[in-house]
Amino acid sequence: MITKGSMAKRDFLAITDFSRDELKALLACAARLKSGAEQDHALEGKTLAMIFRKSSTRTRVSFEVGMYQLGGHALFLSDRDIQIGRGESLADTARVLSGFVEGIMIRTYKHDEVVQLARFATVPVINGLSDLLHPCQLLADLQTMQEEFGEELEGRRVAWIGDGNNMANSWINAAGQLGLELRLACPEDYEPDPAVLARARAVGNVRLMRDPREAVADAHVVTTDVWASMGQEGQAAERTRAFTEFVVDDRLMTQASPGAIFLHCLPAHRGEEVSPEVIDGPCSRVFVEAENRLHVQKALLVKLMANRPEPGMR
Ligand code: CP
Ligand code: NVA
Domains and CATH numbers, the chain: 15-134+292-305 (3.40.50.1370), 137-290 (3.40.50.1370)
- Alpha carbon 246 to its chain centroid, in Å, reads 22
Q: Nearest bound ligand to CA 226?
A: 2
What pLDDT, on a 0 to 100 scale, did the predictor assign at position 313? Answer: 44
Q: Give the other-Cβ count within 10 Å of 309's Cβ.
A: 13
Cα distance between the two ends of the chain: 23
Q: Could you give the percent of the chain with pLDDT greater than 70?
A: 96
Confidence check: pLDDT of 30 > 60: yes
| CA proximity to 143, closest of 15, 41, 247 | 15
Q: Nearest bound ligand to CA 136?
A: 1
Q: Which residues line ligand 2 (CB under 6 A)?
A: 129, 134, 165-167, 225-226, 229-230, 265
DSSP code at position 73: E
- When pLDDT is averaged across residues 78-105 and rounded to a whole number, the result is 96
Q: Which residues line ligand 1 (CB under 6 A)?
A: 56-59, 129, 137, 265-266
C-alpha 224 to ligand 1 mean position (Å): 14
Residue closest via CA to ligand 2's atom 6 equals 229
pLDDT interval class at 39 (50, 70, 90): confident
- When pLDDT is averaged across residues 170-184 and rounded to a whole number, the result is 97
pLDDT digits (tens, 9 = 90+) for 111-143: 999 999 999 999 999 999 999 999 999 999 999
For ligand 1, mutation pick of 59, 60, 288, 291 (most atoms within 8 Å of CB):
59
d(CA 107, CA 134): 9
Residue closest via CA to ligand 2's atom 7 equals 229
Say whether 11 is catalytic. no
H helices present in the chain, as ranges:
20-35, 58-69, 90-98, 111-120, 135-149, 166-178, 194-203, 212-216, 236-242, 250-253, 276-279, 286-305
Q: Which of 29, 293, 295, 297 is catalytic?
A: 293
Residue closest via CA to ligand 1's atom 2 equals 58
Q: Nearest bound ligand to CA 163?
A: 2
Q: State the closest ligand 1 atom to the C-alpha of 57, by its place in the atom list counted from 1.
A: 7
| CA proximity to 67, closest of 51, 80, 55, 50 | 50
Q: Are 231 and 131 in contact (CB under 8 A)?
A: yes
R_g of the chain, CA atoms, integer Å: 19
Please list, in sequence order, all residues whose beta carbon lies within 8 angstroms of the beta carbon of residue 39, skipping any fewer than 6 positions away.
33
Helix-helix angle 166-178:20-35, to 10 degrees: 110
What pLDDT, on a 0 to 100 scale, did the predictor assign at position 201? Answer: 78
Q: Choose the weakest-confidence range: 36-50, 130-144, 170-184, 222-236.
A: 36-50
- When pLDDT is averaged across residues 88-99 and rounded to a whole number, the result is 97
Q: Which of 134, 183, 220, 264 is catalytic?
A: 134
Confidence check: pLDDT of 2 > 50: no
Q: Which residues pair with 222 in a beta bridge?
A: 159, 262
Average pLDDT, the chain: 95
